[in-house]
């Protein structure tokens, strides 16, 4: 029975590694995947920014077929001029007009969609732009200007009054969709990594998950190119606190949780559901990283994919775990697991019978408990 489970899990791991990104592109948005609409925004913005007009025509047709309205596409193209200039934006609008005319000739009547609400023509737009920027970043904007804003103060005024007031106040696209346009443009044109870092952080603040941003990278890789995707991935990994290991699964986001000691990364790949009553994710521990003592009402299976670590049930000796091992943890058994002091450690954690409840977190594993493994 145990050998059968191990083979099954190993097969699942291979399937996830080979087909995960393709499967992701055909699913509705959840905590880990972008919606079909958002997926189609990415190539439209990228090709418009790069001036790759034939590819843009294809992306526009795909976006319209996927349910983007005409006004949503127009907003995408208008938004990107702030990052790649009027010539690219205007040329993309002209291509969009051509595509719509061609579709009409074929009898395809695309949905126009809602118009943008009236934007108040305020005398001063600086403060509203500042407020929008604070909503995007979650950071109070300082009155003291530094860097480029101190060197050329007028550009900071333009940014707040025009980009973050005039453009972001238009409500056809959400803030999250506008940021998706932004990172698509910046990733595609290259050479603006500090700005890309800032906007990845904004995306996280707006609710994008590490899984969704990693999916964004893969769409850039497939639709735009390896070079652009690799450059963006370096920035994203740094933002997420991700390090490369030998596991085929993305490490996800660096946790800031009282339930762990040391550096631990989590990539949740499947949320608990009402049909299978399971959830699963990849957990990566830096050397010395570990969970608190805890238990699972429905039990858990650990499938080791990288490095060396330990599992210990309360009152028992610790068990060494290495790549290729697995551990079945019975329901309600208090335990901990984590990396060895001299090795990274990664595993797929599969929580079972999640309808019985989530993990019950207890006290941290002390250094004495952690080091006493014999």
* Mean pLDDT computed over 108-120: 86
* Mean pLDDT computed over 151-163: 83
Amino acid 297: pLDDT: 94
Determine how many CB atoms are found less than 10 A away from the CB of residue 2: 8
Percent of the chain exceeding pLDDT 70 equals 84
Domains and CATH numbers, the chain: 27-116+147-240 (1.20.1290.10), 253-371 (2.60.120.10)
Q: Tell whether the model's pLDDT for residue 359 goes beyond 70.
A: yes
Break the chain down into helix, strand, coil percent, rounded to 5: 50, 15, 35
Q: Tell me the pLDDT tens digit for each residue of 30-80.
A: 445 789 999 999 999 999 999 999 999 999 999 999 999 999 999 999 999
Lowest mean pLDDT among 19-23, 244-248, 257-261, 325-329: 19-23
Looking at per-residue pLDDT, the higher value among 113 and 10 belongs to 113
Amino acid 22: pLDDT: 34
Tell me the whole-structure pTM to 2 decimals: 0.59
Looking at per-residue pLDDT, the higher value among 129 and 3 belongs to 129
Where are the extended beta strands (E) located within the chain? 253-254, 260-261, 264-270, 278-285, 290-291, 294-295, 300-313, 319-322, 326-329, 335-339, 345-352, 360-361
Residue 54 to residues 51, 57, 95, 96, Cα–Cα distance (Å): 9, 5, 9, 11
Q: Tell me the pLDDT tens digit for each residue of 235-264.
A: 998 887 654 455 667 777 888 889 999 888
In degrees and rounded to multiples of 5, residue 324 shows phi and psi of: 100, -15
Amino acid 52: pLDDT: 96
Asked if 235 contacts 165 with a C-beta cutoff of 8 angstroms, the reply is no
Return mean pLDDT, the chain. Answer: 84
CA–CA dist 91, 298 (Å, integer) = 57
The tokens describing 155, both together, are: 């550009």
Q: How confident is the model at residue 83 (pLDDT cuts 50, 70, 90)?
A: very high
In degrees and rounded to multiples of 5, residue 26 shows phi and psi of: -115, 20
Lowest mean pLDDT among 239-253, 278-292, 317-331: 239-253
Looking at per-residue pLDDT, the higher value among 209 and 25 belongs to 209
Q: How confident is the model at residue 210 (pLDDT cuts 50, 70, 90)?
A: confident
CA–CA dist 39, 30 (Å, integer) = 13
Amino acid 122: pLDDT: 59
Q: How confident is the model at residue 209 (pLDDT cuts 50, 70, 90)?
A: confident
Q: Shortest CA distance to 319 belongs to which of 260, 261, 264, 373? A: 373
Q: Tell whether the model's pLDDT for residue 165 goes beyond 90.
A: no
Amino acid 31: pLDDT: 46
Q: Tell me the pLDDT tens digit for each residue of 176-193.
A: 999 999 999 999 999 999
Across the chain, how many H-helices and E-strands are there?
13, 12
The residue with tokens 């995408």 is: 76
Amino acid 129: pLDDT: 81
Class of residue 21 by CB neighbours under 10 A (exposed 0-12, middle 13-18, buried 19+): middle
């Amino acid at each position: 029975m145990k050998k059968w489970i191990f083979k099954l899990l190993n097969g699942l791991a291979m399937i996830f590694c080979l087909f995960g990104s393709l499967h992701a592109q055909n699913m509705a948005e959840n905590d880990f995947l972008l919606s079909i609409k958002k997926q189609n925004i990415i190539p439209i913005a990228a090709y418009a920014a790069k001036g790759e007009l034939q590819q843009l025509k294809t992306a526009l047709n795909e976006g319209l077929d996927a349910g983007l309205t005409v006004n949503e596409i127009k907003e995408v193209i208008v938004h990107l001029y702030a990052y790649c200039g009027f010539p690219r934006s205007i040329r993309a609008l002209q291509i969009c007009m051509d595509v719509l005319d061609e579709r009409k000739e074929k009898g395809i009547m695309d949905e126009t969609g809602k118009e943008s609400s009236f934007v108040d023509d305020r005398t001063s737009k600086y403060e509203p732009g500042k407020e929008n920027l604070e909503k995007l970043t979650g950071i109070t904007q300082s009155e003291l200007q530094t860097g480029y804003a101190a060197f050329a103060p007028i550009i900071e005024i333009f940014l707040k009054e025009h980009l973050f007031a005039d453009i972001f106040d238009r409500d056809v696209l959400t803030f999250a969709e506008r940021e998706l346009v932004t990172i698509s443009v910046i990733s595609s044109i290259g050479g603006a990594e500090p700005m890309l870092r800032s906007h990845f952080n904004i995306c996280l603040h707006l609710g994008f998950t590490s899984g969704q941003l990693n999916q964004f990278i893969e769409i850039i890789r497939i639709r735009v190119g390896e070079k652009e995707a690799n450059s963006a991935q370096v920035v994203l990994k740094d933002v997420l606190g991700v390090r490369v290991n030998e596991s085929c699964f993305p490490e996800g986001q660096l946790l800031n949780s009282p339930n762990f000691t040391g550096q631990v990364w989590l990539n949740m790949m499947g949320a608990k559901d009402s049909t299978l009553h399971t959830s699963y994710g990849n957990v990566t521990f830096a050397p010395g990283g570990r969970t608190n003592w805890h238990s699972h009402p429905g039990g858990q299976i650990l499938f080791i994919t990288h490095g060396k670590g330990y599992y210990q049930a309360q009152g028992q000796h610790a068990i060494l775990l290495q790549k290729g091992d697995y551990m079945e943890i019975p329901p309600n058994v208090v335990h901990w697991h984590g990396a060895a002091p001299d090795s990274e450690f990664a595993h797929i954690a599969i929580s079972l019978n999640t309808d019985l409840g989530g993990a019950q977190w207890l006290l941290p594993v002390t250094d004495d408990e952690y080091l006493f493994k014999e």
